[in-house]
Amino acid sequence: MATLLGAINASASALDAQRARMEVAVSNMANAESTRGANGEPYRRRDVVFESTSGDPFGQAMGAASSGNADGVRVAAVIEDQTPFKKRYGPCHTDADAEGFVLVPNVDVPEEMVNLLSAARGYQAKLTAIGLIRETVQKARELAE
């Protein structure tokens, strides 16, 4: 039963992490045309960094997996993508430079759509896993009665 509870906790933590990933992808898409933020620069794409809840990204996770305990995942940070901004010719734009170019965010909308779909599928998979664990526990209770 302890390993089932660990699996549910690991899946629940993954739900939170995938939700954060979806929120960041939606924010990136919403700001794909924001040429000036509070700092005067275009919006900078953000990305989510995950880490294992055990602290050790690989060693403890492998040990926990072999012992039947499931580690979870959490959002370690939301970082800004440091790739350069894109330039677009728009001499009539209010943010255009002397040559008529406007700096636009480093957001690639198709890439963000793929990230969003991937996170949604991961979320769906974890919901399915939790449902299967729940069914297993219910069947075990029925057999014990």
Higher pLDDT, residue 145 or 121:
121
**Mean pLDDT of all residues in 103-113:** 96
Residue 85 confidence (pLDDT): 95
Q: Taking residues 78-87, what's their average pLDDT?
A: 95
Q: Within 10 Å of residue 129's Cβ, how many Cβ atoms?
A: 17
pTM above 0.85, yes or no: no
**pLDDT reading at 100 higher than 90:** yes
Rounded Cα distance between 32 and 79, Å, is 16
Going by pLDDT thresholds of 50, 70 and 90, the confidence category of residue 3 is confident
Q: At 45, which helix (H) or strand (E)?
A: none
- pLDDT in the model for residue 41: 93
Could you list the beta-strand ranges (E) of 1-145. Answer: 46-52, 73-80, 86-89, 101-104
Confidence of residue 18 (pLDDT cuts 50, 70, 90): very high
User: E strand or H helix at 10, and its extent?
Assistant: helix 2-30
For 27-71, write each residue's pLDDT tens digit. 999 999 999 988 999 999 999 999 988 766 555 545 555 555 668
